[in-house]
Amino acid sequence: MTVSSQDNAIAQLFPHGCWDAHHHIFDPVQFAYAPDRHLTPPPATIEQFINFKKSLESLKSFVKLLGKSSTKGIGVIDPETVTQEELQEMHNAGIRGIRVNVYKYKAMHDAELQKVALLEHARMIGKHCPGWTMAFTQTHPEFWKELRPVIEQEITPVGIRLITDHFALLKGPSMLPPECVGDVTRQVGFEDIMDLVRKGHLYVKLSAPYRVSNEAPFYDDLKPLVRAYIDANPKQILWGSDWPHTPRMKVRTYDEAMKETPFLEVDDHAWLKSLRSCLSEDEWHTLMVETPKALYDW
């Protein structure tokens, strides 16, 4: 590539002002892991994150923003003990949302306990931090039918913007049973998730394609899902790298959780180019810039 064509290719993937809406920093030297954690990842420091961004040949603005006022964070709270003052301190420090730890509630595989976890967090945030986001990972797409009334009637009305990760764990054909391979819309949870997105009750991150597809590095079988989400409501969809690519989710024994588990090797650039090929220029700008800015940069 010439310099100009390379810059143009980079700009198409990373438009000015774009956001990575889902990544992690692990620095156990400064901040020890929780004793009741469900996974022990290797270190993934801020310096390593900067190098990751450079490896994608991303815009210099990514690096410049890191650690400054335009960088926003997502926190984890205990809704029973957190105070209004602590929440205000978090907001002043750049926190713009929380992640609900369903593991703490033993709710990974229990829809009723998930309702409890979501409502306890939503009531606290809705009272003291209206407009904050509330994110959680749902490993059971079939649960969305049970969660829909709670989301529509009790979470959205108090000003909470609910976000779920990784395609809402809907699968590409390479991970679907034979009866769904020819039509991804037939999988359990599809209609409930799309309806929540369509009505503006749920944001979905197009992140971690390796959790929902076996077709690395381009994950071409996810293109029908990408189009379904964008067609449902392009303003409810955002992108996240999921760096440094932790393994697929599962319930681990205590010994498994305490043992360091290596990160996955992922060709991020190949996946980004594949994702970009599914969207128009306007749709890409909405995905990478407008939607995350509206969610976090206020």
Percent of the chain with pLDDT over 70: 91
Residue 231 CB: number of other CB atoms within 10 A? 12
Let me know if residue 25 belongs to a domain: no
Phi and psi, residue 127, nearest 5°: -75, -40
Tell me the average pLDDT of the chain. Answer: 87
Alpha helices in 14-133 (DSSP H): 46-55, 60-65, 84-92, 111-128
When pLDDT is averaged across residues 249-253 and rounded to a whole number, the result is 75
Q: Are 104 and 98 in contact (CB under 8 A)?
A: no
What is the arithmetic mean of pLDDT over 222-229? 97
Question: 28 lies in a domain?
Answer: no
Q: Would you say residue 109 lies in a domain? A: yes
Confirm whether 2 is domain-assigned. Answer: no
Q: Residue range 160-179: average pLDDT?
A: 95
Q: Looking at residue 186, what is its pLDDT?
A: 94
Range name among 192-196, 223-227, 247-251, 275-279 with the lowest pLDDT average = 247-251
Domain of 169, in residue numbers:
33-296
For residue 135, what is the domain's CATH number? 3.20.20.140
| pLDDT(57) > 60 | no
Residue 126: inside a domain? yes
- Does 23 map to a domain? no
Local confidence band at 79 (pLDDT 50, 70, 90 cut-offs): very high
- pLDDT tier, 11 (very low <50, low <70, confident <90, very high otherwise): low
Could you give the C-alpha distances from 11 to 6, 225, 240, in angstroms and in order? 9, 25, 17
Span 135-161, pLDDT tens digits: 999 999 999 999 999 999 999 999 999
Residue 1 has pLDDT above 50, yes or no: no
Residue 18 lies inside a defined structural domain of this protein: no
Assess whether the previous peptide bond of 178 is cis (omega < 30° from 0): no
Is residue 20 domain-resident? no
If one counts the domains in the chain, the total is: 1
Least confident residue range of 24-38, 140-154, 179-193, 219-233: 24-38
At residue 66, does pLDDT exceed 70? no
**235-248 CB burial, b ≥16 within 10 A, e <16:** ebbbbbbbbbbbee
* pLDDT given at position 63: 36
Q: Is the pLDDT of residue 68 over 50?
A: no
Residue 93 has pLDDT above 70, yes or no: yes
Quick check: 2 pLDDT over 60? no
